[in-house]
Every structure is written in C-alpha cells, then in structure tokens.
Structure 1
Amino acid sequence: MNDQPYGIPEKHWPAKLTYWWFRAARKLRLKALKKQQITDIRIEQIEHLKSALDAGQGVMIAPNHSFHWDSYCLLSVADRLQTPFYVMTAWQVFSQSSWFECESMQRCGCFSVDRENTDIQSMKTAMDILQNRKEPLVVFPEGDIYHTNDRLTAIRDGAAAIALMAARKSQRPVVIVPVAIKRWYDDDPTPSLTRLADTIEQRLFWKPQSNLPLVDRILNIANGLLSLKEIERLGHARQGPLPERIGFLADSILSFAESKYQIPTTKPLIPERIKEVRKKIIQQQVDAGNQASLQQRIEWNTDMQDMFLATQLYSYPGDYLQENPSWERQAETLDKLQEDVLGASYPSSHGRKTVSIRFCEPIAMPIGKEKKASSDGITAELQQRIQSMLDAMNLNHQTNHRVSAQRVQDRV
C-alpha cells in the first residue's frame, strides 16, 4: 500500500467542473490506461445509471476500489454518457500532486475530503451535488485500495450517511447506484510475476526459489515477512494459519495504541479503529502546536507508522490466494508486496487486461419525513450487492473461459 501523510489538510480543493476540460483530458486518461495495458473496458447494465440520471434523480455512484486506475476505467462511462462525474477524492492525492495535476483533477470534477475528521466543506459539496446537480457523484466506500478484486473489503458507512442526509432535505429522489469493477488478465502474467518474485526474494536476501511453484513462492514471502514483523513487535514468530496470525498482530498493535491514547475499543472494524487512533494523534498535534517537544513529535510519527502497518496487515486477508490461486490473485498479492517491500508507488503491469464495469439497480433513499433508514442497513445492502455482482462476473468469466477452451480443443 502507499503510505500517505495524515494531519490537518493545508487547504480544501473544491471541484471546478469544466466540460471542455473533462473532454480534453480524455486523451490523457486513455494514454494512462494504454500504458497499464488495459485494452478493453466493457460496460454492463448501464441502463440502471442512465435511467436514474434521465429521471433527474440525485445519483451517487458507489464502486469497489481494488486497483490503481479503476477510477479512470469508471470515467470511460462518463465519456460514453457525455456527462462528467464529480469524484470525492482523498486530500492526500491533491497534497502529493503538482499544481497542474490538482487543477486538472478539480476541472474534471474531483474535490478533496478529509477522511479522518468531520469534513464539513466536503460534506456540503457532496450534498449539494446530490440535491441539485445533474451530474452524479462518485464515492469509493472502501476508502483505500486493498488489491483484492474478487473480495470486497468491509465498506465504511460514510457514503450511505451522505446519501441519507442529502435525501432528507432534497426536493428530488436520491439514489445510490452500486457498481462492480472487475479486471482480468488476457495473457498469462506468470513470466512477469516470476521476475517480480525474484526481485522481492533478493530484497529479503534470499536466493530466488525458482524450483518452487509461483504460488508457494508468494506464500513463503508472505510468511517470511509476517514472521519478521512478529519478531519485531512480539519478540517471536507465531505459528498457525496466516489469517489468524495477521489478525492477532494487527489487533495487538491497535490495542497498544488504544490503551496509550485512552481510546475505548467500540469500533468492530480495523479501519475504523485505525481512524480513531489517527484522529487522537492529530488532535494532540493540533493542541500542542509549536510547543510540542522533539520526543513528542517522534512518538506521534512512530504511532502513525504503526497505524500504517496495521492498515497494511488488514489489506492481506491471509486466505485470499489459497482460496483461488488465479492469475489475478497471484498478481494482486505480488502487486501489494511490490508496494510494501520494494516501495513502489504503483505496481508493474504484467500483461494485457480487460476490465468489466457492471451497474446494479439503484438503492433509493427515503425522502423527507418518510421512515428513516439506517446508514448501517444501507451499507450492508450496498456491500451485498457489489459482492454479488463480483461473484456473478467471475462465474460468467470462468464459464466463458471454459467454453472458449473447449472450442479450441474441438478444433484441434
């Protein structure tokens, strides 16, 4: 995963949506996708989105967020509809970009959000879009990129909460359109993945384990890295299944921080627990201002790094590769290791890929004085719908792949 700065954003970056700029930027988006060897983008069931927009509804698009450049793939839908999308974007993306990149993102409909704190300005912008604008709003409810395209990570309730608040004072219906984005390799990426595994093993001062199947090599790397972190944090390497060990280490890191900062453990999800610790650290930094001692600053930085480690651990389910060692899952796991071990900002491209984008029937928000729905309930429904689409897309892909393979065999 990519480490990012956390704290109080230096500013808010508002959307400056400009139609001609969005159209002109299409060439840059296509160039970036071509560089990533994404050769085909298939759009399915777009009528669910189009009918909501044609009806004048306030539309939130809620897709999964499992690989870099999936937002560019999604914007190909905007190109087809000839309607730009507003996109809620983490402020760190703006903070780490050049002036021109920020200006271009803003003119293409992006605006910043501080995910660690209550961002009133971002909330107002999102609600205004849903209540008044003809363009839809894109919110990635997973928050981070976890590189697990087949398995939706537990989504946060912020997207549902925004849609509910907008609907309560809206003069028009507000809906959430669930979206599943799935990427497949067209060519066997094993040669490229093998070279990457060689590089990671050498970084660990291992000889390349070329005598082993690639899946075993990936699992050995993961087990070795986890053992190193266990020794660092616990004093010894633990035994047992990877999911249990990963969960134990993440929980021990968070429990220590929660005790140190006197934070009650009330949030069940690890990302929410991480968010609470970060909020506490940021608040202490703000309160201390320039009066903080060097030792305090070192401690805060160390604790923030611990939260990043907990996020990294959470991004590895532990059983994802063993469950189905497909080309895609092997590539995703090595992509994460390339970022976490080699420090790559973006993983390598390992071959030609096809991306499918599928839209689901909208989830309607209650309006005005109608019986209130809970953000938890809508979040659960959103999670279920996106995961169901991903499962169906995978099943359809596997069926088509078997049929194609049989046809080739019949010709032979």
Structure 2
Amino acid sequence: MQAVVLDKPYTFIPPRHSPFWHGLVRLILPRFLRKSDGIAAVECIAAEKLRASLDAGHGIMIVGNHCRPCDPMILDFLAAKVNRPFHVIASWHVFMTSKIQRFLLPRMGGFSVYREGMDRESLKCAIKTVADGEFPLVIFAEGIITRCNDRLVNFMEGPAFMARAAAKQRKEGKVVIHPVFIRYFFEGDLEKSITPVVESIERRFSWQPQVQLPLGERIRKIGGALLDLKEIEYFQSPQPGNFRERLARLIDHLLTPMEDRWTPGRHDGDTMARVKRMRTAILPDMVNSQLTEEDRASRWRQLADVYLVQQLHCYPGDYIEHPTPERILETIERYDEDLNDVARPHFPIRAVITVGDAIEVGTAKDRSHETDPITAEIRMQMEELLESTKASRKISPTGTEIQ
C-alpha cells in the first residue's frame, strides 16, 4: 500500500512561490521527467485560450484529468507557455514524501489539502488564489491518479464550489474555469518495452513466461490471476461473473462491513465518496488518541482494504478489449504499481496538453438541475477533449522535445 494516508497531525502547507527555485526546477525538469516517467516531448494545444483569459485579468481555475503522477509537472510546460506560474492543490501526503518535496513544492506554487477531513485553510487558500487572479489554480477533478487516459471517473464538485466562492469574493472582473486534458502517447516499441515487466510478473506468480500466448492474452491472463488471488483472499475461492461484475462484488464486500461499523446506514455515493467517508471515519482516533497496538493494527488493515477498493475502482472492466498502445501500457503500469507500489518508466512518451474554452462562473448555483451545471459543463468539455485528442498521434513541430 502506498503511503497515501498518514497517522500524523495535519498542518496546512501554504504556497510560497519563489521565482528562483521555480526557475531552477524548470531547468532540471525535462531531464527528471525523462528519467522518472519516460516523457520525451510535451506539446501545448490552444494555449491561446488560457492566454486570453490571463490578458483579460480573469480569476482562473484550471481543471484537468489526472491519469499519471507526473501530471502537475507536465502542466508546468503550459505555465511556461503562457508565462504565468500556476498554483496547484496537492494531497498532504505528497509533501510528506521527502524533505526535498516539502521544501520545493510550495516554492513551485503547491499547497496542501487534507483529504481525510475538512481542510478550511486549504479551501480558503484555493478560493483566495482564484479571487485574486494573480496565479491560475490547478485542481484535478477526479481527485485520484487513475492510470486511465481514455476514461474519466466521476468528478468532484469541489472545483465548481470553490470557483463560485471566488466569484463572490472577487471585487471586479470574471472568474472562469478552463478544462484542460492531458493526453499521453507511447511512441516506442511497445512489446520490447513491456515484455520484461510482463515476464517479471509471471515469474512472481511462479509461472514460466507465457511466450506461447500473444502479448494481449498474457496481459489478460495476469489480470485474471490478480483478481483470482484477491477473491481467494476475501471469498476463499474465485468468483463467477464477468470482470466488471466481479470487481463490483469485491468492492461491496470490502466496503459494506466497514460502513456498517463506522457509518451505520450510510452506503450511498460513488465508490470514491465511500472511500473518503471510510478514511474520514477511521483515521481521527489514530491521530488523536492512544490506541492499543491491536486496535491500531486493525485500523491499518481496514485502511489497506480501503486502498484496495480505490485500486479496484480504477480498473475499467473492458479497458483492453479495444486495445491501443496506451491502454496496454497503462494496464501494465497499473499491475506493476499495484504489485510494487511503483511503476517502471517506459520511454518515449509524448504528452499533449489541450486547453478547453473558458467557462464563466457566476456567484449562485442553479439548483434546478440534479448535477451541478458547472461540473456538468467541465465534464462535457473534458469528454470532447478526450475524443478530439485521440488523433494527435503525430509529433507536432511545436512540441517541446526533451533531450
């Protein structure tokens, strides 16, 4: 389990943007991304839309998809393109990963949010950032890293809420939201790149390398084996049904008993809403109370189950039924990350950032719709950008090549 939850008292970490440190990080960022994430080039499309909002003096929120850990760093290329640093909301655990990240992230414009509870300081900072209009604010609407560049999971309604609150605070001018879609293209030899990872997973299962099977069949077989193992762990045997049905059954099996204990009668909401509710219920006593070692160990086991639910939620049941190089790569990376907590980089990957149209945000919420109209408009544009960027497979002469 990755350390996405910490049993330590939370302290808000504000942004402290430093042109010196930001500039220094930009010098090393291309080489770092090449080594850590396999990024070979970055291209920005329709950046002039964001530039127009900046020139008009609007308060700006940038709402993006979040399929890879490097997304915030990739968006710094867009910031450089429009010559304006961004502020970025990031989960508190990211700042606590190392002393270097805790030092550098605020100086790059990052500030923390505590996902396991109400973080009023972070909320106030986000609203003020948009209302002041000096720095565009980046927030990822999906709330988690999905490893899924061809699908969008449910969006949080927080961006729309914060944008409306900023519009109320703003003394003059508009508040706008720009949807931004980040698309990644793998442009190397896919089979050569991922076969060593496939073979290492097969050996971990004590299998002989399944070289007699096509690569796609080997990947499906691994996925089936991983799900079988989890079902044996929790149900004592593999379960019937298709992949999607089995995932849903396992998620409910994990969450429902915890919900019965921690939030009796509350089983509503999508999977990630239920995950957040469980973390919010389980964690406070681990931070604030003296628990027995047995009780603390029990709660960590439950948090591990909650983390597994989040992983399962990000596995689309039919994702590689219509395979592309990127879908296959993302699936292998997900297997690798779930087994080892980190995915090996695959080179070369080209990132394409596409900026959507500005969505003007008013101060009042239209309650005549079941879904927040601003959230719905963001999602509609993001779906359109998702589809339109599928064709961006040729390297553009405007792309930024990373040496």
Gaps of 5+ in 2: 396-403
Task: Please state how far the C-alpha of 1:373 moved relative to its aligned partner.
Answer: 8.6
Is 1:242 aligned to residue 243 of structure 2? yes
CA RMSD of aligned residues (A): 2.0
Aligned to 1:75: 76
Aligned to 2:111: 111
Is 1:380 aligned to residue 376 of structure 2? yes
Aligned to 2:345: 349
Structure 1: how far apart are the matches of 2:318 and 2:352? 25
Q: Is the 8 A contact 1:64 1:180 kept in 2?
A: yes
Aligned to 1:317: 316
Q: Is the 8 A contact 1:87 1:138 kept in 2?
A: yes
Q: Greater CA deviation, 168-177 or 179-188? A: 168-177
Aligned to 1:122: 122
Aligned to 1:265: 266
Aligned to 2:338: 340
Instruction: Describe the SS at the equivalent of 2:352.
Output: strand
Structure 1: how far apart are the matches of 2:365 and 2:319? 42
Aligned to 2:401: none
Q: Greater CA deviation, 370-379 or 265-274? A: 370-379
* Identity rate, percent: 31
Structure 1: how far apart are the matches of 2:16 and 2:230? 44
Flag the 1:2–1:144 CA change in 2: closer, same or farther, 3 A. farther
Q: Is the 8 A contact 1:149 1:182 kept in 2?
A: yes
Is 1:149 aligned to residue 149 of structure 2? yes
Aligned to 1:366: 362
Question: Which one of the candidate residues 377, 392, 398 is aligned to 1:397?
Answer: 392
Query: Once the two structures are superposed, what CA deviation does each residue of 1:340-359 show, in whole Å capped at 9, x if it has no partner?
Result: 11x143x2222212111101
Q: Is the 8 A contact 1:278 1:304 kept in 2?
A: yes
Structure 2: how far apart are the matches of 1:47 and 1:304? 44
Aligned to 1:176: 177
Instruction: Describe the SS at the equivalent of 1:268.
Output: coil
Aligned to 1:307: 306
Structure 2: how far apart are the matches of 1:226 and 1:70? 28
Structure 2: how far apart are the matches of 1:370 and 1:303? 37
Structure 2: how far apart are the matches of 1:169 and 1:184? 40
Task: Please state how far the C-alpha of 1:3 moved relative to its aligned partner.
Answer: 4.2
Flag the 1:344–1:284 CA change in 2: closer, same or farther, 3 A. closer
Aligned to 1:160: 160
Q: Is the 8 A contact 1:42 1:355 kept in 2?
A: yes
Aligned to 1:48: 49
User: TM-score, normalised on structure 2?
Assistant: 0.92
Amino acid at match of 1:115: R
Structure 2: how far apart are the matches of 1:6 and 1:163? 29
Structure 1: how far apart are the matches of 2:80 and 2:368? 33
Structure 2: how far apart are the matches of 1:215 and 1:48? 40
Task: Please state how far the C-alpha of 1:286 moved relative to its aligned partner.
Answer: 4.8
Query: Once the two structures are superposed, what CA deviation does each residue of 1:114-163 show, in whole Å capped at 9, x if it has no partner?
Result: 12211011011111101113110111111111110111121211222211
Gaps of 5+ in 1: 402-412
Amino acid at match of 2:294: Q
Q: Is the 8 A contact 1:154 1:383 kept in 2?
A: no
Query: Once the two structures are superposed, what CA deviation does each residue of 1:350-404 show, in whole Å capped at 9, x if it has no partner?
Result: 221211110111111113x68679873322221221121011111x236x69xxx
Amino acid at match of 2:107: R
Amino acid at match of 1:56: G
Aligned to 2:210: 209
Aligned to 1:298: 297
Aligned to 2:328: 330
Amino acid at match of 2:319: Y
Amino acid at match of 1:17: H
Amino acid at match of 1:72: M
Q: Is the 8 A contact 2:3 2:93 kept in 1?
A: no
Aligned to 1:139: 139
Structure 1: how far apart are the matches of 2:225 and 2:3? 21
Q: Is the 8 A contact 1:263 1:277 kept in 2?
A: no
Q: Is the 8 A contact 1:17 1:109 kept in 2?
A: yes
Structure 2: how far apart are the matches of 1:371 and 1:255? 34
Q: Is the 8 A contact 2:47 2:81 kept in 1?
A: no
Task: Please state how far the C-alpha of 1:271 moved relative to its aligned partner.
Answer: 0.6
Flag the 1:58–1:372 CA change in 2: closer, same or farther, 3 A. farther
Structure 2: how far apart are the matches of 1:158 and 1:11? 21
Structure 2: how far apart are the matches of 1:115 and 1:380? 23
Q: Is the 8 A contact 1:60 1:138 kept in 2?
A: yes
Structure 1: how far apart are the matches of 2:158 and 2:40? 33
Structure 2: how far apart are the matches of 1:213 and 1:3? 35
Task: Please state how far the C-alpha of 1:234 moved relative to its aligned partner.
Answer: 1.5
Equivalenced residue count is 392
Structure 2: how far apart are the matches of 1:198 and 1:234? 28
Aligned to 1:95: 96
Task: Please state how far the C-alpha of 1:20 moved relative to its aligned partner.
Answer: 2.5
Flag the 1:55–1:266 CA change in 2: closer, same or farther, 3 A. farther
Amino acid at match of 1:335: E
Amino acid at match of 2:184: R
Amino acid at match of 1:320: Y
